[in-house]
Amino acid sequence: MNIKNVLIGALLVSAPFLVNAQGSKVQTAWRNLDDYKLNNDVASIVKAKEAIDLAAVHEDTKEKAKTWSYRTEIYYFLYREDLKKEKEKLAGVTDKKEQEIQAYGNVSMDNFNEMKVSLAKLVVLDKDKSYLQTQSMIGAKMVDEINNLALGRYKAKKYEEASQMYFITYEAFNMMGVKDTGSLFNAIISSRNAKNNELVKKYCEVMVKDKIANPYTFATLYDAKLALGDTAGAFESLTAGRKSFPSDMSLMNMETEYYLKRGKQDEALANLNKSIEKDPGNYIFYLVRGNIYDNLANPKDNNNKDKEKPKEYEELMQKAAADYTKASELDAKNFDVFYNLGALYNNWGGYYQGKADAITKMNAEQKALGDKAMEKFKLAIPVLEKALAIKENDKTSMMALRKLYLITGDTVKAKEMSERMKK
């Protein structure tokens, strides 16, 4: 007898048996699943898993909706068993709510993820939705589970996982035609805590695309893109935010900061003028605007060396002094406000003194310039004294004051300041 023919014959005979065997795996899974639901017997759900996993990879059963319907349910109960074990580990936590949150924060996601995979496969294969209807309860429970997992993961500081759970919740509601902005907002917060700027960008862009963005969305998207090195994209997002929310102060301030960092002083000033119109009691706007005027009056090159003063020097210095003064009136306890104003007067006096020193022969012009310099030096002293009263150990203020005391002839105070600096 030809051995080859015998083997082929054996294979032909055995093929129908294999088909039935794989079909029976689905039935075995179903019976054990039913057993588990009736008796809460863990061994039964384990047997159900073994059977359904075999059916899920076999040619004859892997494309059947029934297979994935059972697999969804089996893995849901396996996940619940994992959760139960986590709660048992936390028996010492007397607060039941806290115990539950911690359990959700620590439970393994393996079986839960397999459940999601199975449900996604079922959605594709169940053309008439008959099995999906029977699994609607599992679907509803999944939404609750995802919310609990998101909170638990967040509390456990597993922020990236929390963000993904919140986003799944958003997508689930979105499929039902509901824009759950709270879940998407939580996804953004969680991904920011995880310092995952790619996820932050992704979730913010979803908010923009779905037309549920707010000023925070655009501000966060701007920050994320900057962190990812996409400066052009960041400014595009900021511009889009300003267009959508033209009156929002936070976006306007971010745009102002963007302009300042790139040397676009005119654009920054335009924004600051608008900001002051909207919020005239905010000292920071005057401080920043004063600083812009100060920098325009005293330009530096790329090596931080002084450049030639502009022809509008006097006007710019007066505007800077007015803004710093206004800022000091609005916040009398801010060191930067007083220090900047004191430094401005000091530098202004230095400018006049430099011009006076450049005149070799004493004359009326030299004396007038010297008088102007002394006037500015004297204005600088009380302002820097206020700055030092706020920040008592600031050495820069001490050095500036000692020099000013000497210039103005107050040797007693100059000596006192020297002693204070030694201490």
Judging by beta carbons within 10 Å of its beta carbon (0-12, 13-18, 19+), is residue 308 exposed, middle or buried?
Answer: exposed
Tokens of 245: 């929310």
> Is the pLDDT assigned to residue 203 strictly greater than 50?
yes
| Residues 6 or more apart whose Cβ sits within 8 Å of residue 85 | none
Q: What is the C-alpha to C-alpha distance for residues 218 and 210, in angstroms, rounded to an integer?
A: 13
> How much is the pLDDT for 15?
38
> How much is the pLDDT for 312?
95
Tokens 């779905």, residue located: 210
> Is the pLDDT assigned to residue 18 strictly greater than 60?
no
> How much is the pLDDT for 277?
92
- Total-model pTM: 0.65
Mean pLDDT of 112-121: 89
> How much is the pLDDT for 1?
41
Residues paired with 300 in a beta bridge? 306
pLDDT tens readout for residues 316-329: 999 999 999 999 99
> DSSP string spanning 124-146?
HH-TT-HHHHHTHHHHHHHHHHH
Exposure string of 72-91, with b = 16+ CB inside 10 Å and e = fewer, is bbbbbbbbbebbeebbeebe
> How much is the pLDDT for 8?
33
> How much is the pLDDT for 362?
77
> Is the pLDDT assigned to residue 2 strictly greater than 50?
no
> Is the pLDDT assigned to residue 303 strictly greater than 80?
yes
Residue 5 pLDDT level (bands cut at 50, 70, 90): very low
Judging by beta carbons within 10 Å of its beta carbon (0-12, 13-18, 19+), is residue 125 exposed, middle or buried?
Answer: middle
Q: What is the C-alpha to C-alpha distance for residues 170 and 163, in angstroms, rounded to an integer?
A: 11
Under a CB-based contact definition with an 8 Å cutoff, are residues 106 and 98 in contact?
Answer: no
> Is the pLDDT assigned to residue 17 strictly greater than 80?
no
pLDDT tens readout for residues 66-76: 999 999 999 99
> How much is the pLDDT for 136?
67
> How much is the pLDDT for 22?
55
How much of the chain, in percent, has pLDDT values that exceed 90? 69
> Is the pLDDT assigned to residue 250 strictly greater than 70?
yes
306 by DSSP, 3-state: which?
Answer: strand
> DSSP string spanning 174-232?
HHTT---HHHHHHHHHHHHHTT-HHHHHHHHHHHHHTT---HHHHHHHHHHHHHTT-HH
> How much is the pLDDT for 4?
40
> Is the pLDDT assigned to residue 11 strictly greater than 70?
no
pLDDT tens readout for residues 148-169: 999 999 999 999 999 999 998 8
Closest listed residue to residue 55, CA positions, set 151, 47, 420: 47
Residue 23 pLDDT level (bands cut at 50, 70, 90): low
> How much is the pLDDT for 300?
85
Tokens of 233: 């994209």
pLDDT tens readout for residues 401-418: 999 999 999 999 999 999
Residue 238 pLDDT level (bands cut at 50, 70, 90): very high
Closest listed residue to residue 76, CA positions, set 145, 147, 27, 162: 145
Q: What is the C-alpha to C-alpha distance for residues 255 and 252, in angstroms, rounded to an integer?
A: 5
> How much is the pLDDT for 64?
93
> How much is the pLDDT for 49?
96
Q: What is the C-alpha to C-alpha distance for residues 340 and 357, in angstroms, rounded to an integer?
A: 25
> How much is the pLDDT for 376?
96
| Residues 6 or more apart whose Cβ sits within 8 Å of residue 352 | 369, 370, 372, 373, 376
Mean pLDDT of the chain: 89
pLDDT tens readout for residues 283-296: 999 999 999 999 89
> Is the pLDDT assigned to residue 218 strictly greater than 70?
yes
Q: What is the C-alpha to C-alpha distance for residues 398 and 381, in angstroms, rounded to an integer?
A: 11
| Residues 6 or more apart whose Cβ sits within 8 Å of residue 205 | 221
> How much is the pLDDT for 314?
96
Mean pLDDT of 85-89: 93
Q: Report the residue count for the chain.
A: 423
